[in-house]
Chains A and B, each alone.
Chain A
């Protein structure tokens, strides 16, 4: 049973470009969470989604960031017009019953 898959594992973007991070939850899991890990801030919750619905986006920056979890396919975290401060590790977690979250390996985003 494959775990949570994230791709790419490493992503380099220049300032102003768009970054797309993908997350495939564990089989049978319909709840997806995104977190950001910054060196001095630790792990912060960004958004919680179920299929085709955003349940809680209280941790998402108001501008440039968006997330979706379509009926078919992976969950996508999109960052438009990236800035150097977006450089971080982004982790996806999935859950079957919305209790225990299992994490993917993360995507390391570097903005040049």
Chain B
């Protein structure tokens, strides 16, 4: 069975500092990988996705993620965070060519210090 681990429950960074959120997955074949962001009381917004090809993918709001097969990781990065980036971030994996239901990590709560 597939699984996703987000080791950091909470992360606090200063506004303007760089950010890296960790995600490790377990899946037997080539995974479809996603990062979503959720603001309080809201739905999930897709930040970026990886299916194949270039292992460094660019997303919305200045986010990027790098797929590393050897480490089973798909870490999310941003060079300079803004106060509006404070939210819950979820990494997810899907098999079946992306058609299966998503398996989510438990999320990382990002706090931005002024």
Contact = CB atoms under 8 A, between A and B. Distances in A.
A48 interface: yes
User: Contact residue range for chain A?
Assistant: 20 to 34
Interface string B3-40: 00000000000000000000000000000101010000
Contact of B43 (A47, A97, A100, A106): A106
Interface in B62-88: none
Interface residues of A: mostly helix, strand, loop or mixed? Answer: strand
A103 B97 contact: no
Given A98-B97, A99-B32, 9 more contacts: A33-B101, A33-B102, A35-B102, A42-B106, A45-B103, A48-B101, A98-B98, A105-B42, A105-B43
A58 B103 CA distance: 12
User: Contact residue range for chain B?
Assistant: 20 to 34
A102 B46 contact: yes
B60 interface: no
Q: Which 10 A-B pairs have the closest CB atoms?
A: A45-B101, A99-B98, A98-B99, A103-B44, A43-B104, A105-B43, A103-B43, A42-B106, A106-B43, A48-B101
B45 interface: yes
Contacts of A93: 44, 102
Interface of A: 4, 6, 31, 33, 35, 42-48, 55-56, 58-59, 91, 93, 95, 97-106, 108
